Structure 1
């Protein structure tokens, strides 16, 4: 994945980075996570970016162990700095994880969460996310995704079409994905779609479970 993935992030302080969208959406996402996450266990967050979500969710769900990850050095540095500042006992040090790779540094998880990665990465990364999650999760455990999606049965919002066009101009392998394409590939890997939730700003959350 190109380092351009974080084009919406900016320097905050030192190595810390900040994404305004992450600060806006973290509470609505957390409200849904309160319904979908297990009561305890390990949550693996894929493509944690600035680390702002990881800190917020680890603070919101103290009974869960939170494992952030990313592939980019500056993201990993930002996550580590945010973790040190927060001082949360249930927030682990970030690990290097490429979703498209078959080699993940985590062997099991009770839930996997990925926000705003699938559309800002090649389709191979989405497929890797599916296969890797299916490998880590026990039966019934959730894979949760957040971001902008396209669907066959709902006309796309003009803002999402504009965003999709902008992404594809930046990288031909990027772009908004169809829910049906993602969940079809997930079904082949042993993950079934359980629920979707409409979110602010024409985003959506998907809940899949290991069969």
Structure 2
């Protein structure tokens, strides 16, 4: 069985990794939410040897993730945890670094909300959360390719679509996170960096 492969992951991991080297400097334990194929986890664990990198995803994706781990073992890379943000219990550990890529526009909105709630509970004070993916600002998309991508997503599944930055940042604020950076990335993506500065708001 061939292991899963994402060309997008192969294309973007270098430029993302350069930023993670900076924003995750001095951190020790990282959780990746929605590890997908496993490519990012293997690459970033090797690039960030000071971090214990914990991948996670729905159970059905673990076979492919483990193929990547087995083909390219890295000492600081841990086996994937089962984490569906709507149905699974979050890991009991706390982390000072959390990362997710290309999840917010795929998950339904209640799952995005649940993800930020879990991040607020599991990210240590002073810890950093990074979210990578396309984003909408004041209802507008900044490139024809993102307009087309957003249309395809919504045609495939009504719950999918590129999210509004203001809505995402409000979830972060409610989780006790403060915006640090909103970085323009290749292929009309963003890498948004928050830091945990407060306890999450009670709903």
Q: Per the shorter chain, which TM-score range?
A: over 0.9
**Which one of 20, 23, 33 corresponds to residue 33 of structure 1?**
20
For 1:102 and 1:58, locate their aligned partners in 2 and report how far apart those are by CA, in whole Å. 24
CA RMSD of superposed structures (Å): 1.5
* Alpha-carbon offset, residue 84 of structure 1: 1.3
CA contact (8 A) 2:94 2:122 kept: yes
Aligned to 2:70: 84
* Alpha-carbon offset, residue 158 of structure 1: 1.1
Aligned to 2:189: 203
Aligned to 1:134: 120
State the Cα deviation string for residues 110-169 of structure 1 (Å, max 9, x = none).
111000000011011211111111101111111100011111297521110110010001
CA contact (8 A) 2:96 2:127 kept: yes
- Change in 2 beyond 3 A, CA 1:72/1:159: farther
CA contact (8 A) 1:111 1:141 kept: yes
**Which one of 102, 112, 115 corresponds to residue 101 of structure 2?**
115
Q: Secondary structure at the match of 1:104?
A: coil
* Alpha-carbon offset, residue 193 of structure 1: 1.1
For 2:22 and 2:59, locate their aligned partners in 1 and report how far apart those are by CA, in whole Å. 30
For 1:126 and 1:142, locate their aligned partners in 2 and report how far apart those are by CA, in whole Å. 18
- Change in 2 beyond 3 A, CA 1:177/1:166: same
TM-score with structure 1 setting the length:
0.89
Aligned to 1:57: 44
For 2:127 and 2:62, locate their aligned partners in 1 and report how far apart those are by CA, in whole Å. 26
Aligned to 2:111: 125
Q: Secondary structure at the match of 2:95?
A: coil
Could you list the structure 1 runs, at least 4 aligned residues long, displaced by more than 6 angstroms after superposition.
none
- Change in 2 beyond 3 A, CA 1:63/1:161: same
* Alpha-carbon offset, residue 87 of structure 1: 1.6
For 1:51 and 1:86, locate their aligned partners in 2 and report how far apart those are by CA, in whole Å. 11
Query: 2:172 matched to 1:189?
Result: no
- Change in 2 beyond 3 A, CA 1:178/1:153: closer
Unaligned runs of at least 5 residues, structure 2: 198-203
Equivalenced residues, count? 197
For 1:108 and 1:44, locate their aligned partners in 2 and report how far apart those are by CA, in whole Å. 9
For 1:39 and 1:100, locate their aligned partners in 2 and report how far apart those are by CA, in whole Å. 31
- Change in 2 beyond 3 A, CA 1:207/1:101: farther
Unaligned runs of at least 5 residues, structure 1: 1-13
State the Cα deviation string for residues 169-196 of structure 1 (Å, max 9, x = none).
1110000001111001211221111111
